Amino acid sequence: ASTNNESFIFLPHLVASLERVDQTYIMVKPDGVQRGLVGEIISRFEKKGFKLTGLKLFQCTKDLAEEHYKDLKGKSFFPGLIEYITSGPVVCMAWEGVGVVASARKLIGVTNPLEAEPGTIRGDLSIQKGRNVIHGSDSPESGKREVALWFKEGEVVEWEPALAPWLIE
Ligand code: ADP
């Protein structure tokens, strides 16, 4: 019997590549909003080529901030962190793509802005850990959890960017 080798080779590859599409939760923190950095920050992700699937300006409650940062409960900076995150509106974003979680962390830079490389968002735009302008999920699992935590059903939109063939071969 003749087999169509092409489909045998191509299909698993396609399935594997589909499985690697991750989502990450990115948030411009209240200092970034107050300092007028929203456009600059969104622009860096747009230029990189990832797909925006959710976006809103939002006043975070204490309960939501505590849930989001529950792994840090008990740290000395936790109360200050909750106060910071709830001190004004944040911009919530969901971004999607292959490798988006790790790549977004690179665009963002390390937690301490004084140690963050120039060229990164924190490295270019901030000086203190407690005012480091942006959040990004630390793993694909966190990305899923955080997008579900911050966005309601229907707020995350599936769409096909017209430029996709110019970004993904
Ligand atoms: P990241 O946001 O880089 O993933 P963490 O998850 O460790 O970092 O911490 C979450 C946030 O808590 C940081 O982005 C920062 O705003 C704040 N934070 C962390 N460590 C400190 C600290 N030592 N002092 C003040 N704020 C801190």
pLDDT of residue 16: 47
pLDDT over 60 (residue 12)? no
62 is in an annotated binding site: no
Do 41 and 133 contact (CB within 8 A), yes or no? yes
User: 26, 27, 70, 77: which to mutate for ligand 1, most atoms within 8 A of CB?
Assistant: 77
Confidence band of 30 (pLDDT split at 50, 70, 90): very high
pLDDT of residue 20: 77
pLDDT for 64-100, tens place per residue?
999 999 999 999 999 999 999 999 999 999 999 999 9
Residue 68 CB less than 6 A away from ligand 1: no
Residues facing residue 95 across a β-bridge:
24, 52
pLDDT over 70 (residue 8)? no
pLDDT for 127-147, tens place per residue?
999 999 999 999 999 999 999
Alpha-carbon distance 165 to 168, whole Å?
Answer: 5
4 is in an annotated binding site: no
Atom of ligand 1 nearest to the CA of 131: 16
User: 129, 139, 145: which to mutate for ligand 1, most atoms within 8 A of CB?
Assistant: 129
* Vertex 23 angle, CA 159 and 51, to 5°: 40
Residues facing residue 97 across a β-bridge:
22
Lowest mean pLDDT among 15-19, 21-25, 82-86: 15-19
pLDDT of residue 2: 47
Mean pLDDT over residues 91-112, rounded? 98
Residue 58 CB less than 6 A away from ligand 1: no
Mean pLDDT over residues 13-34, rounded? 82
pLDDT for 116-128, tens place per residue?
999 999 999 999 9
Q: Would residue 68 show up in a list of annotated catalytic residues for this protein?
A: no
ipTM given for this complex: 0.99
User: For the chain, where are the E strands, in sequence order?
Assistant: 21-28, 51-58, 90-98, 134-136
Residue 130 CB less than 6 A away from ligand 1: yes
Mean pLDDT over residues 25-44, rounded? 98
